[in-house]
Structure 1
Amino acid sequence: MNRVVYAARGWLGTPYVHQASCRGAGCDCLGLLRGVWREVIGPEPEEVPAYSMDWSEPQGDERLWRAGLQHMVPKARDDAAEGDVLLFRMRDGSIAKHVGLQARTGGMASFIHAYSGHGVIESALSAPWARRVVARFALPIGD
């Protein structure tokens, strides 16, 4: 099994807590990515400043996308691999502000994410989710 997916599955069941990143205690979608990063790569590449639930939406600031481009390897959206970081735009015209980790590819594609009201779960990457993916990244891991 891919080590990113293995680490992410270790977070399943963690409650959703805005701005948190503590396996078993609480995290949000970015906190999940940060925690998996620490487990698989090591120290986080930068300190994450406090952020509101709207993720800079009123300003139209694609903050997560810029961070992805700065710290990860951009990939084509259709070049799916286990362990990829997925960036989602939850509504047309809004900024991309949800992240998940690709767990399976192919006909049973799934991703792991922290979702408000659900905690960390593995969801099918169904058509409604897949059409929201605006970017795909590989973590900078030397295998």
Structure 2
Amino acid sequence: MSLVSRIKELAKTQKITIAELERKVDLPNGTIRRWDASVPSITNLQKVATFFNVSLDYLAGRNRNSDVIEAIAAHINPDATAEELAEILAYIEERRKFYTQQAPVDLVPVAAEHDEVVAAFVAENPDFKYLVNETMSADEAVSAVKAFIEIYKQNNL
């Protein structure tokens, strides 16, 4: 799922439009939709993350554990029995173990294969790595790596 798609889903859960979100976080009209084709600033990403009370990792699609836990939490019946809650917690623990057992994947080579900007940056910074614990599509990898490159550059790392 792309950054913009993830933000749209979050907006949908809050029952607001992207335009309303932009007004609430003081972004110019149409800013978020342009993020499909450009790299947003860390400041603007942080505004959106803060509004939804999620991490930048979640917005970038790097924290799939949160997806699973949030999906489960959204479906918990407030009248669930102690036994049902114990089953849910056991499932969450099983998923946590699954995700922590996966070997990290470096997204940089995948993104460099599919994007000239990333490839040029990697050529200049051969030690640059971006490790994640899940697989993602090439488009998601490019988007995530570009966002990380922007953070990398802004912080002079």
Q: Same fold (TM over 0.5)?
A: no
Larger Rg: 2
Which structure is higher in RCO with an 8 Å CA cutoff and minimum separation 6?
Answer: 1
Normalised to the residue count of structure 1, the TM-score between the two structures is 0.32
Name the structure with the higher strand share: 1
